[in-house]
Structure 1
C-alpha cells in the first residue's frame, strides 16, 4: 500500500531554532559504525564469491572500549590499547564449505583503521574481540527460501527526507572539510575525532567544533593556543563562504582554558578520544544521511553492519532517503518530501506493509497534480530493490 499526502507545516529551515550534529570519522561512535559496516560488505563479498548469494549475518553490535595513554606536549605513549568488540551473528559454513568469518572481520577492521586514522596502528593500539555466533534457525532459514528477493527479517519502520536544510548542509560539509586530505595536509596537527554541533537561531549560525591537536606536533601550552587560533580562523573562513546565514560564530575546543596545562587543552596522541577518554557504540552516531538532526523525523534502527538483503533496518532506512530525494528531484513543485516505510517480518522486502510520502508543496501546487508521479517513484524503487540491495552489499551507499 502506497499513500501520498500533503504536509503543510513549516520545514526544518523555517523554524526559528534548528539543531544539527555530525560526528566525524574519528569519533568512537563513528568508528564503530564504519568498521562494522565495512565488515558486512567484506562478508557479503565472501558469501557471494563462495556461495553466489549473501548469507545471514548481522554485525551490528559493537563496542569500542577506550584505551589508556600517557601524553604531554611533544608526544607520549600508549599504555593500554583500545578494544573493539565485534558481535552478533554470521554464517560460518554452508554445505560443508566454510567461510573464515573471524579472519575477515579482524582483517577488515584493521584495514579500516589504517585507511582512516593516520596515527592509529591497529596492530599495536587496538585489540579485537569477536563475539559472533551462528544465527537462529528461523532467521537463517530466510536465506534458504525461494524468491527473487528476501523476506524481511524484522517488523521495523524507517523514515527519510529531502532536501537537507542549509544548516544540515553546513554541519555536514564542515566536518568533511576538517577531515579532508587537503585540510590534514595543511594542518597535520589536527586529529580525525571531529564533532560539529550546529545551532541556527533565525538566520544566525553558531558552530561548536571539537577537534583534538596531536601531541607530537605541539611543544607547549602557548603553541597549542597559537595553533588553535590559526585553525579556528581557517574554520571561520570556510563558514563565512556558506550561503544563507546572517551572523556566524565558530567555537573550537570550548573546554580549553589557558593556564591549566594539560588539563586545559584538547590534546591527543592518536587523533581519537577512544585512546583514553570516550568509548563508542554502534547506533549512537550519525543517521544514514550523515547527520543527527533534532528537528527531523528519526528512525531508531542502527543501520550499520546489518545484512543488506533482508534486514529492513538497513535497507529501508537508506531507501527512504533515496526515494525522498528522487521525488524532489523528479517532480516540479515539491519543496520537501519525507518517505516512511514499514515492514512486516516474513513479507518480501519489495512489499512493505506501508509506504507513504508526505509532501510539502510549492504555493499554488495541488496534491492531485503530483501524487500519481510520487507513487510511481516509490513503486519503481520497490520494484528495483533487488539491485538496490546488491549496491548495499557492495558498500555503495554509506550508512554513517
Structure 2
C-alpha cells in the first residue's frame, strides 16, 4: 500500500529552536556502528563469492569497552587496551562447507581501525572478542524460501526526510571538515573523536565542539591553550562560509579550565575517548543520514551491521531517506518530504505493509499535482529493491 498525503505541520526550519548533533568517526558509538557494518559488508561479499548469494547474518550487537591509559604532556602509554565485542548472528556453514566467520570479522574490524584512526594500532590497542553464533531455524529459513525477493525478517518501521536544514548541514559539514585529511595535515595534534552539537535559536547558530588534542604533540598547558586558540579561530573562519544564519558562534572543549594542568585540558593519547573515558554501543550514534536531529522524526532501529537483503531495519531506514530526497529533487513544488515504511515479517521486502509520503508543498501547489508522480517514484524504487540491497551489501551507503 502506498499513500501520499500533505504534511500539515511546519518545516523544522520554521521552528524557533533546532538542535542537531553529529558524532565523528573517533567517537566510541560511531566506531561500533562503522566497524560492525564493515564486518557485515565483508561477510556479505564472502557469502556471495562462495555461494552466489548473501546468507543469514546480523552483526548489529556490539560494545566497545573503554581501556585505560596514562597521559602526560608530550606523550603517555596504554595501560589496558580497549575491547570491542562483535556480536549477534552469522552463518558458519552450508552443508560441509565452512565459512571462516571469526577471521573475516576480525579482519574487517581491524582494517576499519587502520583506515580511520591514525594513532590506534588494532594489534596493540584493541582487544577483540567475537561472540557470533548461528541464527534461529525460523529466521535462517527465510534465506532458503523460494522467491526472487527476500522476505522481511522483522516487523519494523522506518522514516526518512529531505532536505536537510541549514543547521543540519552546518553540523554535518563542520565535523567532516575537522576530520578531513586536509584538516589533519594542518592540525595533526587534533584527534578524531569529535562531537558537534548545534543549537539554532531564531537565525542565530551556536556550536559546541568537543575534540581532543593529542598528548604527543602538546608539551605544556600553555601550548595546549595556544593551539586550541588557533583551531578555534579556524573553526570560526569555516563558519563564516555557511549561509542562512545571523550570528554564529563556536565553543571548543568547553570543560577546559586554565591552571588545572591535565585536569583542565582535553588531551588524548590515541585520538578517541574509548582509550580510557567512554564506551560505545551500536545504535547510539548518528542516524543513517549522519546526524541526530531532535526536531525530526527518528526511527528506533540501529541500521549498522544488519543484513542488507532481509533486515528492513537497515534497508528501509536508508531507502526512506533516499526516497524523500528523490521526491523533493524530481517534483517541483515539494518543499520537504517525509517517507515512512513499515514491514511485516515474512512478507517480501518489495511489498511493505505501508509506504507513506508526507509532502510539504509550496504555496499554490495542490497535492493532486504531485501525488501520482510521488507514488510512481516509490513504486519504482520498491520494484528495484534487489539492486538497492546489493549496493548496501557492497557498503555503498554509509550508515552513520
Task: Provide TM-score, normalisation by structure 1.
Answer: 1.00
Q: Which residue of 2 aligns with 1:352?
A: 352
Residues 159-197 of structure 1: CA distance to partner in whole angstroms, max 9, x if unpaired?
000000000000000000000000000000000000000
Q: Which residue of 1 aligns with 2:91?
A: 91
Q: Give the number of aligned pairs.
A: 400
SS at match of 1:5: strand
Q: How does 1:328-347 map to 2 (within 5 A)?
A: 328-347=328-347
Residues 324-355 of structure 1: CA distance to partner in whole angstroms, max 9, x if unpaired?
00000000000000000000000000000000
Q: Which residue of 1 aligns with 2:396?
A: 396
Unaligned stretches of 5+ in structure 1? none
The ranges of structure 1 where at least 4 consecutive aligned residues each deviate by more than 6 angstroms after the TM superposition are: none
- The 2-side partners of 1:8 and 1:83 are apart by 47
Q: Which residue of 2 aligns with 1:247?
A: 247
RMSD: 0.4
- The 1-side partners of 2:322 and 2:147 are apart by 24
Give the Å deviation of 1:254.
0.2
Give the Å deviation of 1:96.
1.1
Give the Å deviation of 1:9.
1.4
- The 2-side partners of 1:290 and 1:138 are apart by 33
- The 2-side partners of 1:241 and 1:365 are apart by 33
Q: Which residue of 2 aligns with 1:231?
A: 231
Unaligned stretches of 5+ in structure 2? none
Q: Which residue of 1 aligns with 2:198?
A: 198
Residues 4-36 of structure 1: CA distance to partner in whole angstroms, max 9, x if unpaired?
000131111110000000000000000000000
- The 2-side partners of 1:7 and 1:321 are apart by 16
Matched, 1:276 2:289: no
- The 2-side partners of 1:239 and 1:384 are apart by 40
Matched, 1:366 2:366: yes
- The 2-side partners of 1:77 and 1:50 are apart by 43
Residues 38-85 of structure 1: CA distance to partner in whole angstroms, max 9, x if unpaired?
000000000000000000000000000000000010000000000000
SS at match of 1:147: coil
Q: Which residue of 1 aligns with 2:51?
A: 51
- The 2-side partners of 1:41 and 1:96 are apart by 23
Q: Which residue of 1 aligns with 2:162?
A: 162
Matched, 1:152 2:146: no
- The 1-side partners of 2:67 and 2:9 are apart by 47
Residues 101-145 of structure 1: CA distance to partner in whole angstroms, max 9, x if unpaired?
000000111110000000000000000001110000000000001
SS at match of 1:8: coil
- The 2-side partners of 1:392 and 1:372 are apart by 28
Task: Provide TM-score, normalisation by structure 2.
Answer: 1.00
- The 1-side partners of 2:62 and 2:258 are apart by 37
